[in-house]
């Protein structure tokens, strides 16, 4: 065991795009677990778009990240020392310990994982929070029916790739939107979506209309801005729109001015924001269903791995520019 714990703290709040100056690395002694607590050595850190939102000091669905504290985030790691009878050294766990190499958590805040069945890192992605977001957003709000057309943005990413594949299993025509030919080729050739529109090609509306000859019945929105506005133009009557994320706006200093709300009215569209925490009581059910699909080879999955905690800030900056290709992770050991 190294003699110290390295941590990444939030040093300052970004104005617009995140920069490396917004973070500070510190080395501190490794903490010891008290009664009911567990010391974990983190192996994988998840980088997620929501982290950008937490860096702002604004009211949201959870309180902001505090300055000079360890950056928020989920990790997967190994129990080193335990004062909770539910865990023993060597156990693999999902944790809320954030951007650090070691951490002490209450046993009640840890989730045991079975890394013999599914790779440990998948608990941060396809069978973790992003996969469950896709599962509940699609099934509980999108409510896909066979023969319907679904459009999902950030289609090659952690949430979008799962949404599209689950919608294919449900019998939908699935159209992805992604940035660049390489991502679009992957979405069609590997994930087997019916079409994928490269929004960076400069012809978003016409390309989307060509890919959706029968209009759009379900929009699964991960990006927002012009992508949502143009998708709204193609919506069918009684369409559903899942507002899962607005990543195109996270670094923006001004909100995007939406112009297509009229489509919501005339088409009687149901548009609903979702936060995956609302299904917390049903995580086990979703995790198990997703794991079965992964084991059966019905869900493909891709990871984008950065090595070393020191590189985590660069990883988040890149994620918010679409530089990741699949679920963004930091390998810590
Ligand atoms: N509501 C919830 O409970 C919940 C939970 C998890 C995630 N989310 C949301 O779901 C969305 C996807 O998250 P994820 O973890 O799966 O990330 P991801 O899709 O793996 O990665 C983010 C992707 O967003 C796209 N992107 C980034 N910046 C962009 C920009 N300025 N304009 C357009 N596209 C941009 C990029 O894809 P392209 O290169 O294809 O553009 C990038 O690869 C995010 O909005 C996130 O906040 C919501």
Cα–Cα distance between 99 and 314 in angstroms, integer? 13
pLDDT tens digit sequence for 100-116: 999 999 999 999 999 99
| Residue among 323, 319, 299, 318 at smallest CA distance from 131 | 299
Give the pocket of ligand 1 (CB within 6 Å): 48-50, 129-130, 133, 154, 156-160, 178-179, 183, 222-223, 244-245, 247-248, 274-276, 319-322, 324, 327
Q: Are the CB atoms for 226 and 203 separated by under 8 Å?
A: no
DSSP notation for 165-178: HHHHHTT-EEEEEE
> Rounded to an integer, what distance in angstroms lies between the CA atom of residue 322 and that of residue 163?
18
- Residue 1: pLDDT band by 50, 70, 90 thresholds? low
Whole-number Å distance between alpha carbons of 237 and 268 = 6
Atom of ligand 1 nearest to the CA of 200: 41
**Banded pLDDT at 3 (limits 50, 70, 90):** confident
Best of 47, 122, 154 for a ligand 1 pocket test (most atoms within 8 Å of beta carbon): 154
Taking CA atoms, 247 is separated from 17, 179, 180, 310, in Å, by 12, 13, 17, 24
Tokens representing 98 are 């954030």
CB atoms within 10 A of CB 81: 18
Distance 173 CA to ligand 1 centre (A): 21
Question: Terminal CA-to-CA distance of the chain, rounded, Å?
Answer: 11
- C-alpha–C-alpha distance, residues 190 and 169, integer Å: 15
Residue 156 pLDDT exceeds 60 = yes
Can you read off the two tokens belonging to residue 45?
A: 């850190």
Distance (angstroms) between ligand 1 centre and the Cα of 155 equals 9
Task: List, for residues 164-193, the tens digit of each pLDDT value.
Answer: 999 999 999 999 999 999 999 999 999 999
Residue located nearest, by CA, to atom 2 of ligand 1: 275
pTM: 0.97
Interval 37-49: pLDDT, tens: 999 999 999 999 9
Looking at the CA of residue 199, tell me the nearest atom of ligand 1.
Answer: 41
Mutation test residue for ligand 1: of 322, 323, 326, the one with most atoms within 8 Å of CB = 322
For ligand 1, the distance from its centroid to the CA atom of residue 160, given in whole angstroms, is 8
pLDDT grade for 2, boundaries at 50, 70 and 90: low
Q: How far is the CA of 48 from the centre of ligand 1 (A)?
A: 8
> Would you put residue 73 in left (φ > 0), alpha (ψ -120 to 50) or beta?
left
Mean pLDDT of 186-209: 98
């Amino acid at each position: 065991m190294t003699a110290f714990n390295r941590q990444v703290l939030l040093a300052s709040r970004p104005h617009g795009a995140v920069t490396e100056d917004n973070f500070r690395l510190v080395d501190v002694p490794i903490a010891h677990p008290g009664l009911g607590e567990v010391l974990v050595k983190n192996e994988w850190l998840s980088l997620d778009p929501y982290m950008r939102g937490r860096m702002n000091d604004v009211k949201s669905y959870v309180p902001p990240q505090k300055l000079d504290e360890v950056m928020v985030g989920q990790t997967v790691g190994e129990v080193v020392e335990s004062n909770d009878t539910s865990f023993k050294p060597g156990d693999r766990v999902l944790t809320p310990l954030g951007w650090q190499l070691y951490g002490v958590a209450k046993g009640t805040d840890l989730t045991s994982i079975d890394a013999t069945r599914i790779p440990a890192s998948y608990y941060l992605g396809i069978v973790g929070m992003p996969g469950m977001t896709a599962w509940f957003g699609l099934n509980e709000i999108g409510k896909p029916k066979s023969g319907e057309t679904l459009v999902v943005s950030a289609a090659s990413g952690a949430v979008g790739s799962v949404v599209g594949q689950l919608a294919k299993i449900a019998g939908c025509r699935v159209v992805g939107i992604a940035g660049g030919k390489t991502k679009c080729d992957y979405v069609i050739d590997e994930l087997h979506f019916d079409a994928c529109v490269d929004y960076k090609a400069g012809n978003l509306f016409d390309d989307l209309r060509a890919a959706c000859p029968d209009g759009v019945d379900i929009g699964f929105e991960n990006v927002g801005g012009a992508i949502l506005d143009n998708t709204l133009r193609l919506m069918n009557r009684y369409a559903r729109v899942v507002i899962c994320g607005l990543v195109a706006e996270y670094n923006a200093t001004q909100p995007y001015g939406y112009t297509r709300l009229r489509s919501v009215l005339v088409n009687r569209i149901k548009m609903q924001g979702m936060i995956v925490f609302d299904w917390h009581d049903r995580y086990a059910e979703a995790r198990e269903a997703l794991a079965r699909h992964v084991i059966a080879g019905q869900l493909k999955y891709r990871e984008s791995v950065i090595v070393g905690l020191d590189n985590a800030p660069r990883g988040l900056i890149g994620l918010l520019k679409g530089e990741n290709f699949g679920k963004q992770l930091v390998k810590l050991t």
